[in-house]
């Protein structure tokens, strides 16, 4: 059974600071997704990582994938309040199924 572990589960950070969210998974996969969810809303796709060593950046967020270590990271640079949300990683399985991590609640304080 695939397990997807995110940490930390809750992150409170000051504006302007940097931090990394980690996503570890227990079985082979070459597809890793990051999503953002605002309270009461559905999921917004942030990144799709499809190969070992993939790195993608959008604004203050950068995601990477190491399939050998079964690890993906979401790095936040110079956080701003608008980044406050819940962030999920999800691992792709056969049949295009996704298994989600528990989510990281991010609160950026001014």
Partner 1 sequence: GAVVSQHPSRVICKSGTSVKIECRSLDFQATTMFWYRQFPKKSLMLMATSNEGSKATYEQGVEKDKFLINHASLTLSTLTVTSAHPEDSSFYICSARGELAGGPRDTQYFGPGTRLTVL
Residues near partner 1 (CB under 8 A) are 31, 33, 35, 40-45, 48, 50, 88, 92, 95-103, 105
CB of 95 to partner 1, least distance (A): 6
Q: Is 81 helix (H, G, I), strand (E, B) or coil?
A: helix
CB of 27 to partner 1, least distance (A): 16
Question: Residues 37, 103: contact at Cβ < 8 Å?
Answer: yes
CB of 96 to partner 1, least distance (A): 5
Give the torsion through C-alpha atoms of 6, 99, 88, 91, to 10 deg: 80
């Amino acid at each position: 059974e695939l397990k997807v572990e995110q940490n930390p589960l809750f992150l409170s950070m000051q504006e302007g600071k940097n931090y990394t969210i980690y996503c570890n998974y227990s079985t082979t996969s070459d597809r890793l997704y990051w999503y953002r969810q605002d309270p009461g809303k559905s999921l917004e796709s942030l990144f799709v990582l499809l190969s070992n060593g993939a790195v993608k950046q959008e604004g203050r967020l950068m995601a990477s994938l190491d399939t050998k270590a079964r690890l993906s990271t979401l790095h936040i640079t110079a956080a701003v309040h608008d980044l406050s949300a819940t962030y999920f990683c999800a691992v792709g399985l056969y049949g295009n199924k996704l298994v989600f991590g528990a989510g990281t609640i991010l609160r950026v304080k001014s």
